[in-house]
Amino acid sequence: MEKYEESRKNALKNLSIADHMLTMTYPVVQDPKILFVVSENLFLALTNILGALLYFERLYKRIPPFHENFESKFNMFKMRCVEKYNIEKEYLSFILEMKEIINENKRSPITFSRKHKYVICSEEYDLKTISEKDIKKNLEKAKLFIHKICLIIEKNERFAGKCKRRTEKD
- Given the candidates 1.20.120.330, 3.90.400.10, 3.50.50.60, 3.40.50.300, the CATH classification of the domain at 3-169 is 1.20.120.330
Instruction: Report how far residue 170's alpha carbon sits from residue 165's, in angstroms, rounded to the nearest whole number.
Output: 9
Average pLDDT of the chain to the nearest whole number: 93
**pLDDT for residue 1:** 86
**pLDDT for residue 158:** 83
Rounded alpha-carbon distances, angstroms, from residue 147 to 5, 6, 67, 143? 14, 16, 25, 6
**pLDDT for residue 166:** 46
Give tens-digit pLDDT for 32-48.
Answer: 999 999 999 999 999 99
DSSP string, the chain: --HHHHHHHHHHHHHHHHHHIIIIIHHHH--THHHHHHHHHHHHHHHHHHHHHHHHHHHTTSS----SSHHHHHHHHHHHTTTTTT--THHHHHHHHHHHHHHHHHH-SEEEEETTEEEEE-TT--EEEEEHHHHHHHHHHHHHHHHHHHHHHHHHHHHHHHHHHHHHH-
Residue 121 amino acid letter: C
Give tens-digit pLDDT for 129-138.
Answer: 999 999 999 9
Share of the chain above pLDDT 90, in %: 91
- pLDDT over threshold 80, residue 170: no
- pLDDT over threshold 70, residue 162: no
Residue 132 amino acid letter: E
- pLDDT over threshold 70, residue 165: no
**pLDDT for residue 141:** 98
- pLDDT over threshold 80, residue 63: yes
Q: Which residues of 43-55 are buried (b: 16+ CB within 10 A; e: fewer)?
A: bbbbbbbbbbbbb
**pLDDT for residue 2:** 93
CB atoms within 10 A of CB 128: 16
At 159, the pLDDT band (50, 70, 90 cuts) reads confident
Give tens-digit pLDDT for 73-130.
Answer: 999 999 999 999 999 999 999 999 999 999 999 999 999 999 999 999 999 989 999 9
